[in-house]
């Protein structure tokens, strides 16, 4: 088990010798950087790698000084190294360090590439990197990990020795692999922020959001079929009383969340109101409770029936932890104007940050279903990215 690890660590040092021999690094210490503490944990969807070193360090200076500082990802059952995440300096013109990932097969490292990690530093001896398991070719299943700190020639000339392979040129922390037991994160909520009344997203980002009101309905599964086929996320504003009738015991709502869709509150019975009394509050809370009962997720988005709002209502909705979402593109699909009219309306009015209001419930919706493929393919050709409202507004998602 550990022989493969030793061979891999020795290969890292050999690689360093080649790099440093060419670069001619000088004036560095004779020991690898010492790890004071390290951890790898799960926080919602993210893996969080925390490092506390015994001395100050700069990710940008590691390669120049003939050093590496890497997180080794290992199989939970036998300790074989399957990948490595190594710290590196910022891209040209940027200031944030990078995390480079390379898969490892039979002790041989593949080509490294930068992953979309979030880097934070509390001091010059600390670093925290957050990333998704998919960034390292993994899923939410147990894995082993260790930190490998190396120093290459000419500063260090001793060969890699020992099992575990700690020596003059390399330090492994902890000495034996630590086990991280991952679980598939469950979305349980989101945090409303910013404006309490939203008509569109950022005007300088080529995103567009498709939203659907008045479901779930008998045709909602057909909407999901189309969205899944084209890999498009959407936001569904649901009427609470229909969830037990058409939601297939919550299966439709759970399917939405699995697909990456978002669910919003559209009241319990879809009344036309702008007040803030006990009845109106009940309409919102009862629908939100129905969504949570079906999925475990509590919404942070609200859409008023018929789009009717008032200042007092907007304030009340925010006090309930939600943002009221309007729209700036309305193809009036509820009036059944025809497939071509729905398509043309959306395509003619598309703009960066647009929110499109359509319907998956409240009546026959085949025209809307049939209009979706042309709308999606045309907008994609124009460079638009489809996002949910929470993605468009940058809301924080809550997982457990």
E strand or H helix at 6, and its extent? Answer: helix 2-23
Same domain, 168 and 285: no
Instruction: Say how far residue 108 (Cα) sits from the centre of its chain.
Output: 30
pLDDT at 12 exceeding the cut of 80: no
Task: Quote the domain boundaries for residue 74.
Answer: 2-180
Which of 113, 145, 180 lies at the terminal end of a domain, its last residue? 180
Residue 208 pLDDT class (50, 70, 90 cuts): very high
Which of 180, 206, 237 lies at the terminal end of a domain, its last residue? 180
Predicted confidence at residue 46, as pLDDT, reads 94
Same domain, 288 and 160: no
Here the CATH number for the domain that contains residue 242 is 3.20.20.370
Mean pLDDT of 375-397: 98
Q: Which of 21-30, 71-80, 370-379 has the lowest mean pLDDT?
A: 21-30
Model pLDDT for residues 128-183, shown as the tens digit of each residue: 999 999 999 889 999 999 999 999 888 886 654 443 445 568 999 999 999 999 99
Same domain, 150 and 194: no
Active site members = 213, 359
Same domain, 224 and 103: no
Model pLDDT for residues 217-256, shown as the tens digit of each residue: 999 999 999 999 999 999 999 999 999 999 999 999 999 9
Same domain, 210 and 324: yes
Residue 17 pLDDT class (50, 70, 90 cuts): very low
Same domain, 52 and 159: yes
Model pLDDT for residues 105-127, shown as the tens digit of each residue: 988 999 999 999 999 999 999 99
Predicted confidence at residue 278, as pLDDT, reads 95
Predicted confidence at residue 9, as pLDDT, reads 54
Predicted confidence at residue 158, as pLDDT, reads 61
Model pLDDT for residues 252-295, shown as the tens digit of each residue: 999 999 999 999 999 999 999 998 999 999 999 999 999 999 99
User: CB atoms < 10 A from the CB of 396, how many?
Assistant: 12
β-bridge mates for residue 208, sequence order: 354, 386
Same domain, 391 and 289: yes
The SS3 assignment for 191 reads strand
Instruction: Say how far residue 273 (Cα) sits from the centre of its chain.
Output: 36
pLDDT at 337 exceeding the cut of 80: yes
Same domain, 226 and 175: no
Would you give the end-to-end CA distance of the chain in angstroms? 34
Predicted confidence at residue 85, as pLDDT, reads 97
Same domain, 390 and 276: yes
pLDDT at 25 exceeding the cut of 50: no
Predicted confidence at residue 15, as pLDDT, reads 47
Using alpha carbons only, what angle is made at residue 308 by residues 302 and 314, rounded to the nearest 5 degrees?
50
Same domain, 132 and 202: no
Same domain, 212 and 305: yes
The residues near 111 (Cβ < 8 Å, ≥ 6 apart) are 102
Same domain, 143 and 110: yes
Average pLDDT, the chain: 91
CB of 100 closer than 8 Å to CB of 109:
no
Which of 180, 214, 243 lies at the terminal end of a domain, its last residue? 180
pLDDT at 13 exceeding the cut of 50: no
| Count of structural domains within the chain | 2
Predicted confidence at residue 93, as pLDDT, reads 87
């Amino acid at each position: 088990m550990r022989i493969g690890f030793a061979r891999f660590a020795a290969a890292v040092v050999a690689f360093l010798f080649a790099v440093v021999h060419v670069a001619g690094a000088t004036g560095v210490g004779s020991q690898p950087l010492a790890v004071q503490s390290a951890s790898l944990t799960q926080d919602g969807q993210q893996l969080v790698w925390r490092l506390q070193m015994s001395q100050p360090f700069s990710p940008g200076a590691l390669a120049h000084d003939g050093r590496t500082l890497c997180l080794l990802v290992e199989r939970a059952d036998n300790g074989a190294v399957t990948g490595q995440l190594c710290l590196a300096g910022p891209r040209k013109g940027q200031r944030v360090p990078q995390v480079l990932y390379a898969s490892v097969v039979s002790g041989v490292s593949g080509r490294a590439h930068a992953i979309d990690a979030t880097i934070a530093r509390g001091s010059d001896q600390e670093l925290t990197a957050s990333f998704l398991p998919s960034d390292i070719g993994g899923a939410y299943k147990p894995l082993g990990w260790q930190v490998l700190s190396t120093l290459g020639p000419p500063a260090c000339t001793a060969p890699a020795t020992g099992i575990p392979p700690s020596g003059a040129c390399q330090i492994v922390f902890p000495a034996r692999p630590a086990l991280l037991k991952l679980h598939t994160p469950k979305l349980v909520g989101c945090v409303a922020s910013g404006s309490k009344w939203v008509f569109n997203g950022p005007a300088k980002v080529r995103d567009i959001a498709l939203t659907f009101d008045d479901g779930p309905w008998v045709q909602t599964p057909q909407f999901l079929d189309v969205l899944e086929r084209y890999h498009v996320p959407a936001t569904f504003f649901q009427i609470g009383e229909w969830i037990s009738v058409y939601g297939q015991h919550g299966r439709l709502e759970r399917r939405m969340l699995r697909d990456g869709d978002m669910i919003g509150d559209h009241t319990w019975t879809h009344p036309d109101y702008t007040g803030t009394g006990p009845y109106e509050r009940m309409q919102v809370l009862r629908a939100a409770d129905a969504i949570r009962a079906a999925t475990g997720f509590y919404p942070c988005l609200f859409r008023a029936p018929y789009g009717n709002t008032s200042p007092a209502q907007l304030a009340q909705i925010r006090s309930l932890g939600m943002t009221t979402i309007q729209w700036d593109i309305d193809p009036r699909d509820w009036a059944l104007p025809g497939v071509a009219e729905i398509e043309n309306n959306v395509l003619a009015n598309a703009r960066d940050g647009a929110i499109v209001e359509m319907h998956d419930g409240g009546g026959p919706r085949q025209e809307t279903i049939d209009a979706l493929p042309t709308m999606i393919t045309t907008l994609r050709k124009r460079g638009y990215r489809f996002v949910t409202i929470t993605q468009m507004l940058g809301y924080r998602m809550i997982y457990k």
